Amino acid sequence: MNWMWLCMKYLVMILNKIPKQAVYLERLLIESSKFAIMIKSCSILGLFLKSCIAVYIMQSLIGCANIVPPSGGPRDSIPPYLVAAKPKDSSVNIQPKEIWIGFNEYINATSLQENVIISPTLKNNPLFDAKLNTIRIRISDTLLPNTTYNIQFGQSIRDVNEGNIANNFSYTFSTGPTIDTGSLRGTVRLAETGRVDSTLIVILHPMGKDSAVFKDNPKYYSRVDGKGRFEFKFLPNKSFQIFVLPNDYTKRYDDSTKLIAFLDKEMIVGTNTDSIRLFAFQAAKKVEKKKTILANANKNLKRNSASLRYGKNLDGSEQDLLKPLHLIFETPIHLNDSFPILLCDTSNKPIEGFSVKIDTTTHQNIIIDYPWRELTKLHLIVPKNSISDSLNNTLIKTDTLKFVTKSTAAYGAAIIRIAGYQQYTNPILLLIKEEAIVYQYPITKNLLNIPMLPPGEYVLKVLEDKNGNSKWDTGKYGKQKLQPELIQVLKSVLNIKANWDNELNLIINK
C-alpha cells in the first residue's frame, strides 16, 4: 500500500506541475517515462496509471490545437512612402524614358492617367503601370533641356489595407544641372458667391503672349483643393500670366460661359509668390435651349385640351408681409389686359395701390405687389381669360384666392453693429437662405436696424458694389479686361427669433 500511495502521490505531483494547456508537452512525456519505469513492477496498477497518463496526454494535445486569434494592434494610419526610385528622386542631368517608384507597402493607385499632373506638361501623356508596391512611368516625349520636371500624384495613391492616402506625393528630376526651387501659392474663390469650387485649376502661361489662354495648352497647372488653395513648386524664376479655368480637355478659355479668373499683373516667380487671390466668374450665363413646338404639330392639339395650372408662394393661407405674392406657372405666359387680375377686400371690392406684372427673366411668374398690412383678409380674383400661354391655354375657371396677411409678431427685429465696413466701396449686406439672396441692406454706418425679418438662420455675405447699382456685376476677359465685383462670405450667421430684438456684432475684413 505504501508503494501504491507513493506512486499516486508522484502522479499527482506530475499532473500539478504540467499546465492543462500542455504547452510543454515534451516535459510531460519525459516525466511520464520516468514514472513508467518506477511502476514497471506493478502490472495492474501500472496499466491503470499508464491509461490515465495516456488520457491526460490526449487532452493536452487537444488543448494545444485550439487556435486563438492574435489581438488586434493599433490601426495603421501611416500612408505609403517612398523607399526607392530609379532614377533617384531629385536626380539631375537625366533624360529618363522610364521611371520606377517603390513604396514601403502594397498600394492601390487609382486613375493615374487622369489624376497625375506633370509640370511642365508633355505633348504625349506618359504611360503608368502600378503593381504591388511599385509604379512604372514610361515617357515617350523628348524632354526640354535644363528643365525641372515635377510629377504630382495628388490623392491617387493609397495603401491596400487601410486606404491611407499618400497626400500630394510627388517625384522630381531635372534635365539640367540644378533643380528649380521657385514657388507660387494662393487662393481661388467664386466671385458671385464667395464659395470654393475644387473642380477648377490654376494655369500659368509665359508672359508676352496675350492670346495664350485662348489658343495654347498651359505649360504649368495646379488643382484647387477643397479650401480653395493652390500651390506650384519647382518653378523656374520667370514671369508668368496666371489664370483659373475648368479642368476640361482643352484647358483653354474658348467659351465665355466658362468660369475664368485672371491676375491683372504679371507674376515674377521668386518675388511675389504668396497670398495670390483670384476670383472666378462667368462673363456670360449659359442659356438653356427652350423646347419649341413645330407649327404643324399644333394641328394635332385640340383647343382647350389643356388648362393652365399654377402654384403660390403663400405660407398655407398666409401672405408674407415682406414679399410680393407670386403665381408660379410651368410654362411662359402673358397677361390679357381685357381681363385684369384684381386684389380685393373680403367684399370683392378692388383696393388701390397694388401692381401686377410678369417676371421678365422667366415669363413664368406673375408678381402681385402691395404694401401689406398685418392681419388683413384679402381676395385675389384671377379671371379665367386673364392669363394664357403660347397655345392660348387658359385657366379652367375664374379663381378667387382667399388669404390673410401675417402678424408682425411672427417676425423678429435685427440690430447689427458693424465694424470694418469702411474698407469697402458701397458695401451691401446680403442675407442668404438656401444659397439665394433673400434680403439685402446697404451699409452706410456702423449700426444697421432691420425692423422685421422672418425667423430662421441667415448666412451673411458682403457685396462690394463698386458701380453702385445695388447688384453683383460679372467681369470680362477679352479685348476688354474687367474684374468682377466681389462677394465675401462672413464667418458670423444671423439667427432671428420671432417677436424678439436680435442683436449681432459683426466685424468684416477684406
Q: Which of 54-63, 140-149, 152-161, 196-205 has the lowest mean pLDDT?
A: 54-63
**CATH classification of the domain holding 359:** 2.60.40.1220
Distance in angstroms (rounded) separating the CA atoms of residues 303 and 393: 8
Region 411-428 average pLDDT: 96
Nearest to 265 by CA among 281, 241, 229, 292: 241
With 70 as the cut, is the pLDDT of residue 9 above it?
no
Cα torsion at 6, 10, 16, 21 (round to 10°)?
A: -140
With 90 as the cut, is the pLDDT of residue 287 above it?
no
Phi, psi (rounded to 5 degrees) for 53: -65, -40
The DSSP bridge pattern shows strands 276-282 and 182-190 to be parallel
The string of pLDDT tens digits covering residues 32-46 is: 444 444 444 444 445
Verify that 52 and 124 share a domain, yes or no: no
Give percent above pLDDT 70 in the chain: 81
Judge whether 297 lies within some domain. no
Domain total in the chain? 5
Region 441-456 average pLDDT: 96
Q: Which of 283-297, 319-333, 334-348 has the lowest mean pLDDT?
A: 283-297
Verify that 401 and 419 share a domain, yes or no: no
Strands (E), 283-335: 310-312, 318-319, 325-329, 333-335
* Predicted pLDDT of residue 304: 39
Verify that 396 and 440 share a domain, yes or no: no
Question: Which range of residues forms the domain containing residue 402?
Answer: 303-409
Nearest to 164 by CA among 251, 81, 263, 265: 81
- Taking each helix axis from N to C terminus, what angle separates 43-64 and 2-17, rounded to the nearest 10 degrees? 10
Distance in angstroms (rounded) separating the CA atoms of residues 135 and 470: 55
Verify that 228 and 145 share a domain, yes or no: no
Judge whether 72 lies within some domain. no
Phi, psi (rounded to 5 degrees) for 111: 50, 50
* Predicted pLDDT of residue 10: 44
Tell me if residue 240 falls in helix, strand or coil: strand
Burial class (CB in 10 A: 0-12, 13-18, 19+), 504: middle
Phi, psi (rounded to 5 degrees) for 302: -90, 140
Tell me if residue 34 falls in helix, strand or coil: helix
Give Cα separations from 285 to 255, 331, 372, 479, 487 (angstroms).
11, 21, 35, 19, 18
Q: In whole angstroms, what separates CA 400 from the centre of its chain?
A: 46
Give the DSSP H or E segment for 11: helix 2-17
Q: Categorize the per-residue pLDDT at 254 as very low, low, confident or very high, splitting at 50, 70 and 90.
A: very high
| Half-sphere CA count of 228, side-chain side, radius 13 A | 15
* Predicted pLDDT of residue 290: 47
Judge whether 147 lies within some domain. yes
Among residues 390, 409, 428, which one ends one of the domains? 409
With 50 as the cut, is the pLDDT of residue 301 above it?
no
Region 451-467 average pLDDT: 97
Q: In whole angstroms, what separates CA 379 from the centre of its chain?
A: 46
The string of pLDDT tens digits covering residues 15-27 is: 454 444 433 434 4
The DSSP bridge pattern shows strands 476-477 and 481-482 to be antiparallel
What does the buried/exposed string (b/e) look like for 87-111 if buried means 16 or more CB atoms within 10 Å of the residue's CB?
A: eeeebeeeebeebebebebebebee
Q: Categorize the per-residue pLDDT at 452 as very low, low, confident or very high, splitting at 50, 70 and 90.
A: very high
Phi, psi (rounded to 5 degrees) for 25: -65, -30
The larger pLDDT score, comparing residue 381 to residue 64, is at 381
Query: What does the mean pLDDT of the chain come to?
Result: 85
Distance in angstroms (rounded) separating the CA atoms of residues 174 and 401: 76
Quick one: cell of 126? 506618359
Verify that 277 and 320 share a domain, yes or no: no
The string of pLDDT tens digits covering residues 335-379 is: 999 999 999 999 999 999 999 999 998 999 999 999 999 999 999
Q: Categorize the per-residue pLDDT at 275 as very low, low, confident or very high, splitting at 50, 70 and 90.
A: confident
Verify that 404 and 428 share a domain, yes or no: no
* Predicted pLDDT of residue 51: 54
Q: Categorize the per-residue pLDDT at 77 as very low, low, confident or very high, splitting at 50, 70 and 90.
A: confident
Q: Categorize the per-residue pLDDT at 385 as very low, low, confident or very high, splitting at 50, 70 and 90.
A: very high
* Predicted pLDDT of residue 273: 63
* Predicted pLDDT of residue 208: 83
**CATH classification of the domain holding 215:** 2.60.40.1120
Quick one: cell of 90? 531629385
Verify that 470 and 423 share a domain, yes or no: yes
With 50 as the cut, is the pLDDT of residue 55 above it?
no
Cα torsion at 31, 33, 38, 40 (round to 10°)?
A: 160
Strands (E), 266-335: 267-268, 276-282, 310-312, 318-319, 325-329, 333-335
Verify that 108 and 131 share a domain, yes or no: yes
Tell me if residue 109 falls in helix, strand or coil: strand
Q: Please tell me the pTM assigned to this model.
A: 0.75
Judge whether 394 lies within some domain. yes
Judge whether 287 lies within some domain. no
Q: In whole angstroms, what separates CA 502 from the centre of its chain?
A: 32
Judge whether 271 lies within some domain. yes
Q: Categorize the per-residue pLDDT at 307 as very low, low, confident or very high, splitting at 50, 70 and 90.
A: confident
The string of pLDDT tens digits covering residues 462-471 is: 999 999 999 9
Among residues 348, 377, 409, which one ends one of the domains? 409
Query: Which positions ≥6 away from 378 have C-beta within 8 Å?
Result: 319, 343, 344, 345, 346, 351, 402, 403, 404, 405
Verify that 317 and 395 share a domain, yes or no: yes
* Owner of C-alpha cell 505649360: 219
The string of pLDDT tens digits covering residues 167-222 is: 889 999 999 999 999 999 999 999 999 999 999 999 999 998 889 999 999 999 99
The string of pLDDT tens digits covering residues 105-133 is: 999 998 888 889 999 999 998 999 999 99
DSSP designation for 350: B
Verify that 97 and 142 share a domain, yes or no: yes
Region 411-421 average pLDDT: 97
Nearest to 200 by CA among 234, 182, 224, 232: 224
Verify that 389 and 312 share a domain, yes or no: yes
Verify that 405 and 415 share a domain, yes or no: no
**Residues counted in the chain:** 510
Nearest to 438 by CA among 457, 424, 421: 457
Distance in angstroms (rounded) separating the CA atoms of residues 170 and 182: 16
Among residues 409, 432, 453, which one ends one of the domains? 409
Residue 322: CB atoms within 10 Å: 13
Judge whether 266 lies within some domain. yes
Judge whether 68 lies within some domain. no
With 70 as the cut, is the pLDDT of residue 269 above it?
yes
